[in-house]
Chain A
Amino acid sequence: MKSVTLVFLVHQPVRLKRYRFFDIGTHHDYYDDYANETLIRQLAAQCYLPANSLLLRQINRLNGQLKVAFAIPGVTLELFEQYAPEVTDSFILLAETGNVEFLGGTYSHSLSSVADPASFASEAEHQRQAISRLSGQQPEVFLNTEMIYSDTIGAMVADMGYKGMITEGARHILGWKSPDFLYCNAINPRLKVMMRHSKLSDDLSIRFSDNSWAGYPLTADKYLGWIRGSEPAGESITICVDYGTFGNVHPAKSGIFNFLDHFIFLVTQSQDVFFSSPREVIARLQPVSLINVKHPVSLAGEERDLSFWNGNDIQGEALAKLYELALPMNHNVDPDILKDWHYLQASDHFLFMSTKAAPQPLHNRYSPYNSPFEAFINYMNILNDFSLRMDENPLKPDCFEELENCRRLLKEKEQEIEEFREEIRRLKRHKRLPGSGG
Chain B
Amino acid sequence: MNVLMFGWEFPPHISGGLGTACYGLTKGLSEVDRMQVTFVVPRAWGDELRSDIQLLGANQVPVNRRWVEIGDSETRMEVVEVLSDLAPYRSPEQFWELKSRSYARGTRFVEVNEEGKIEFSGSYGPSLYREIRNYAIVARFIARARSFDIIHAHDWLTFPAGIEAMKASGKPLVVHVHSTEFDRTGGNVNPMVYAIEREGMETADKVIAVSNLTRQTVIEKYGIDPTRVVTVYNAVEPLSDEEKRQIKKGIHEKIVTFMGRITYQKGPEYFIEAAALVLRKMKNVRFVMAGSGDMMDDMIQQAARLGITSKFHFTGFLRGDDVYRMLHLSDVFVMPSVSEPFGIVPLEAMQANVPVIISRQSGVAEILNFAIKVDFWDTFALADAIYALLNYPALARLFVKHGIEETSNLKWKNSANEVTGIYKKLLERETLNTPHL
Contacts and interface: CB of A to CB of B under 8 A. Distances in A.
- The reply to whether chain A is a binding partner of chain B is yes
Contacts of A393: none
A376 B401 contact: no
A136 interface: no
A373 B277 CA distance: 20
Contacts of A358: 369-370, 402
A21 B373 contact: no
Interface stretch (A57-65, A83-91, A283-291, A309-317): A309-317
Interface string B413-432: 00000000000000000000
A381 B394 contact: no
Interface string A288-312: 0000000000000000000000001
Nearest to A315: B394
Contact of B277 (A22, A24, A380): A22
Contacts of A377: 372, 384-385, 388, 392, 395
A215 interface: no
A262 interface: no
A312 B398 contact: yes
A359 interface: yes
A380 B388 CA distance: 8
A370 interface: yes
A387 interface: no
A361 interface: yes
A373 B385 CA distance: 9
B130 interface: no
B31 to A, nearest CB: 25
Contact of A22 (B280, B370, B372): B280
Contact of A370 (B373, B388, B391, B406): B373
Interface in A338-359: 355, 358-359
Contacts of A248: none
Nearest to A318: B394
A370 B280 CA distance: 26
A401 interface: no
Contacts of A370: 373
Nearest to B400: A313
B387 A373 contact: no
Q: Give the interface centre of B280, B370, B393, B401 by most chain A CB atoms within 10 Å.
A: B370
Contact of B401 (A313, A317, A371, A381): A313
B380 A20 contact: yes
B235 to A, nearest CB: 16
Given A317-B393, A358-B369, A376-B392, A381 B384 contact: yes
B393 A21 contact: no
A21 B369 contact: no
Contacts of A414: none
Interface of B: 277-278, 280-281, 369-370, 372-373, 380, 383-385, 387-388, 391-395, 397-398, 401-402, 406
21 contacts: A21-B383, A21-B384, A21-B387, A21-B388, A22-B277, A22-B380, A313-B397, A317-B393, A317-B394, A355-B369, A358-B370, A370-B373, A373-B372, A373-B388, A374-B372, A376-B395, A377-B385, A377-B388, A377-B395, A380-B388, A380-B391
Shortest 6 CB-CB distances between A and B: which pairs?
Answer: A317-B394, A377-B388, A21-B387, A313-B394, A313-B398, A20-B384
